[in-house]
Structure 1
């Protein structure tokens, strides 16, 4: 680990440390400005009424008692809004227990010989009394002298609010810096495809996030390359095997023993079918078929008619027309695989179509032996067959029909599941969205 690597600004740790440092500096600046503006160490300047009342008290306190009535009359004319008046000692109604910064400021200006008290208000005006050194009292109206809320304008409150804002900004930034890339990773994993249609992850953000994005993009490229190489290898093997299989089939026609000739031809046909089925499952590098509006009911009716022409009993039950967005060839292929499995194990098959809200449900029902609950999920995997026999004949498959149909359902944004049919049999249910945004590949 590099020394002080934590403070590297391209990483998440460095960015969080820088944001914490900036928040701390901003907090101290706000506290300093609040202190300089409020200056709790300095006496608050009293309002104009308090100034006038303080000057009047000093003037009357230094005057002779006989001159005070004339001075009060002159002060009333000079300061009409002050409403100054004289009280005899002990006659003023003092409000106990009320104090504020204005009263304390007046006391500091007047000195020890004077006593400043709050009087009962007269209407909506606040009245302040000043007791002169000889015990008499003058009173006047002082605007703005009411007590302010104890919490308003306090430096500690500004500090708390600034700290709250800084912590909130830090939390939101950290949540976005971590959650946004994780969401993009989840979307990329959900839209993972091998056809090159998915956009690579954007390599932006802190260094750790960019490293993860680069690693995931490289992993996607390696997986796509491996799957492409696998498909090309299988295609080459299939091409190379088709020629000797064809030659063997031609030579088998000249076998004189009828029984051996039929068994040889059956084995060669199974080998060719197996190659076609495996390639059908692994064609991941093919061009993705475009999504278009498809009449699902007509497709199911067509599949039922095709199997009916081959001598199987296949019925279609559902609406005459039902349109949805789908890939027509893939859908036809998936339903055909399901019906092939059904006619292999059952004597009568029913294709059922139902539209429930925004979901389109296709049921393929047969009257065969069914599948136990313990094996239902296993049967959806490739190369898993319904019978436990190790040998194959014309009535057995390769265990790819259900897996191919499931891949097609997933590619359409739907799902495929297996259910029991009463009194016996199996229901293969393919659910597709009516209005869908299908994924690029299963």
Structure 2
């Protein structure tokens, strides 16, 4: 799904937020439901106790006093009457009604009988009772009365009521009609505010915890992506949870091992290349003796090629090192110097663009990188070369374009491999050691940048150096 976050932090945070919202909504619903049930239970128990208390008072009173007591005790929400006979039909046998009768029976004096005629929605007019005032009636009934005032009140039902009968010791039947108050429709704002506060605090704490857990992973990703460009980068700080620390320790150990392996290989090749120059020198001295001129010329040419290959190999091994310090470099002056040297060799170079601010770089390495690319363009692409400089807020791009036959797209990455040459497709004659482009690429990456090639067969090659802008 496109709207889902792509990062690990975003997905975990979204999952926690959704789960928290669902749990809070369910919790709010359960709290409101339990509150309503508890209120109804308490009101029902109170109503049963009130009914039993009234029945006890009437049972102890004299028969002549009972009508006056009934009139005095018929106060909303409880209405009384002594005119209805003991019902023998239409008894409410539901579980709720029986539970209510049991609670009332427990509160009554011994020997008094109680029965439930109806519970919840009843029509009191059918039993000869007067309906309660409109203030105690169901809002829906009140709305219906407003719609049609000509209709009689018969047939109107009142919610959450009960009608019960109690037979006194002398056989008198007291009928109770009690209206339970409707549950409040007001929202518990304090409870909702508490849940919102709890949810906000939990969300903030969860996001902080997730960020704390995923930040080492982000640093791990950055370190892994930068390892190929700079083996000498600083080790990662070993912080975070134990699993993350173990992964960081393993990564730092791997970086040390790889750097040690590369350094050992470079030292070995450097020692071999250096040691090879000694026998080459001895062979040159011996050629000064009694050797045929033709043989001497061929052997000196072979020895020169061997010496050049050894020198280029040493340059390649030193290209990615950071022994040279970063200093503020005037890139325009450096380019002008390299271009001037190439023009003395017969190249025709067109210069475009300027770099207005100094660039922090390693001047000797950067000069070697640009010179290799210009020499490569002159050798394989002819003498006509275009050099352009483009400066942005974050990097400087140097483009070197030749007019040669180009490089097949399948070979654009292979040309950066050491000793790889495209003689059959580009060179006019055999030459070079195949280390010019690898050396230039290693120097660019040692600056924290990159080197890329763009080409189409027959349209020349464009080499682009990307150098990061650093404060000079």
- TM > 0.5: yes
Q: Evaluate the alpha carbon distance shift between residue 288 and residue 148 of structure 1 in structure 2; reply closer, same or farther with a 3 A threshold.
A: same
1:269 aligns with 2:304: yes
2:408 to 328, 348, 372: 372
Question: Partner of 1:131 in structure 2?
Answer: 164
Q: How big is each residue's C-alpha offset from its partner over 1:106-155, in whole Å with a ceiling of 9 and x where there is no partner? A: 43321362426347875565774443236654445655767999xxx9xx
Q: Deviations over 1:190-245 (max 9, x none)?
A: 233775543157387557x7766555444433332222222222222233233343
Work out whether residues 195 and 284 of structure 1, in 8 Å CA contact, stay in contact via their aligned partners in 2.
Answer: no
Is the 8 Å Cα contact of residues 418 and 427 (structure 1) preserved in structure 2?
A: yes
Q: Which residue of 2 is the match for residue 53 of structure 1?
A: 50
Distance 1:310 1:251 in 2: 33
Aligned with residue 110 of structure 1, among 98, 104, 108: 104
Q: Distance in 1 between matches of 2:461 and 2:395?
A: 21
Shift of 1:363: 1.6
Asked if the contact 1:312/1:343 (under 8 Å) is kept, the reply is yes
The answer on whether the counterparts of 1:409 and 1:432 sit within 8 Å (CA) in structure 2 is yes
Query: How far is 1:185 from its partner?
Result: 5.0
Q: Please tell me the root mean square deviation across aligned C-alpha atoms, in Å.
A: 4.9
| SS of 1:133 mapped into structure 2 | strand
Structure 1 unaligned segments of length 5 or more: list them. 1-33, 91-96, 154-164, 437-442
Residue 53 of structure 1 contacts residue 140 of structure 1 at CA under 8 Å; is this kept in 2? Answer: no
Cross-structure match for 1:306: 341
Contact 1:231 1:284 in 2 (8 A): no
- Distance of 2:364 and 2:44 partners within structure 1: 89
Counterpart residue number, 1:240: 275
Equivalence for 2:383: 347
Q: Deviation string for 1:275-334 (max 9, x for gaps)? A: 221122223784454555544444333321222234432232223635555444433222
Q: Say if 1:434 and 1:84 are closer, same or farther in 2 by CA, change over 3 A.
A: same
**In structure 1, what is the Cα distance between the partners aligned to 2:403 and 2:358?**
29
Cα-to-partner distance string for 1:160-213 (whole Å, 9 max, x where unaligned)? xxxxx9xxx9xx999997x77765654443233775543157387557x77665
Distance 1:421 1:74 in 2: 108
Q: Which is greater in Rg?
A: 2
Q: Give the distance between the partners of 1:408 and 1:322, measured in 2 at CA.
A: 21
Contact 2:405 2:457 in 1 (8 A): no
Q: Is the 8 A contact 2:338 2:370 kept in 1?
A: yes
Other structure's SS at 1:202 match? coil
1:354-393 → structure 2 map (5 Å cutoff) = 354-355=390-391, 358=394, 360-388=396-424
2:438 corresponds to? 403
Which SS does the other structure have where 1:407 is aligned?
Answer: helix
Check the 8 A contact 2:401/2:461 in 1, yes or no. Answer: yes
Q: Deviations over 1:225-276 (max 9, x none)?
A: 2222222222222332333434444554667866555444433332222222
User: In 1, are the aligned partners of 2:231 and 2:255 still within 8 Å (CA)?
Assistant: no
Q: 2:450 corresponds to which residue? A: 415
Match of 1:283 in 2: 318
Alignment: residue pair count: 365
| Shift in alpha-carbon separation, 1:355–1:421, aligned structure 2, 3 A | farther
The Cα shift of 1:368 comes to: 2.4
Q: Is the CA contact (8 Å cut-off) linking 2:329 and 2:359 kept in structure 1?
A: yes
Cα distance, 1:392 vs structure 2: 12
Note if contact 1:47-1:144 (Cα within 8 Å) is conserved in structure 2.
no
Indicate the SS of the match to 1:191.
Answer: helix
CA distance in 2, matches of 1:337, 1:328: 14
Deviations 1:20-59 (A, max 9, x none): xxxxxxxxxxxxxx9xx99x99x94447853663344433
Contact kept, 8 Å, 1:50 with 1:106, in 2: the verdict is no
Q: What residue ranges of structure 2 are gaps of 5+ in the alignment?
A: 1-30, 86-91, 106-112, 123-130, 138-159, 168-172, 192-201
Aligned equivalents of 1:326, 1:305: Cα separation in 2? 21
